[in-house]
Amino acid sequence: MTRILVVDDDVTLLRALTINLRARHFDVDGARTGADALRLAATGPDVVVLDLGLPDLDGIDVVRGLRGWSTIPIIVLSARDSESAKVDALDAGADDYITKPFGMDELLARIRAALRRAAPDLSAPVVVTDMFTVDLAAHRVTRDGADVRLTPTEWHFLDILVRNSGKLVGHQKLLTEIWGPAYVDQANYLRVYIAQLRRKLESEPSSPAHLLTEPGIGYRFVP
């Protein structure tokens, strides 16, 4: 059974989400503080649904804390609806962002998408560059012989580019495949994630050799 960790200090909302998710055959753990969220995350849930307004820690710090050791999908569920709040959360390592109020069907769709992105593809090849190696089947990236930790969304972004090696992949295709059709105008999300991938994989992130930008159009992976 898929386990979901729901983190929110609103007792009523936490109870409602727990009831709704369990009714849809998810195993649910609940947490009301950032400290409890970090503790329960160590037990291995499949997805974290996280509010940012927690009483002890800011949710952004919880995201950073999780990303220090885990690639578990993190879906932020917050009343903060500014673009800067969304970019900050994504830059910290969140994989998706939903603003309150929200629909349960939308949340369920985002959870399913996060689980799909995290699932391995056992038929995929290994791609080798002079800087790093991408094992698409194992969802593994290595650089200089060491594993590179990617978030599920970073991995999904890289996976799409690598599978279309040498081809231009447009903004709309990337946004639709990673976040869904409602996000086709959010090109700033792509800028956040391509910058993170370059920092982790390129020897000179400001002058990348493999993860290239086609200004105003999209991105291209060159082995």
User: For the chain, which domains are there?
Assistant: 3-118 (3.40.50.2300), 126-221 (1.10.10.10)
As a whole number, mean pLDDT of residues 18-43 equals 95
**Measured distance CA(173)–CA(19) in Å, rounded:** 35
Please tell me the predicted confidence (pLDDT) of residue 196.
94
pLDDT at position 133 over 70 = yes
Q: Is 70 exceeded by the pLDDT of residue 120?
A: no
pTM of the model: 0.65
* pLDDT surpassing 60 at residue 121: no
CB of 158 closer than 8 Å to CB of 150: yes
pLDDT tens-digit profile of 62-98? Answer: 999 998 888 889 999 999 988 888 888 888 889 889 9
Q: Give residue 26's pLDDT band: very low, low, confident or very high (50, 70, 90).
A: very high
Confidence at 122, pLDDT banded by 50, 70, 90: low
Q: How many CB atoms lie within 10 A of CB 215?
A: 5
Please give the pLDDT value at position 105: 92
Q: Are 20 and 104 in contact (CB under 8 A)?
A: yes
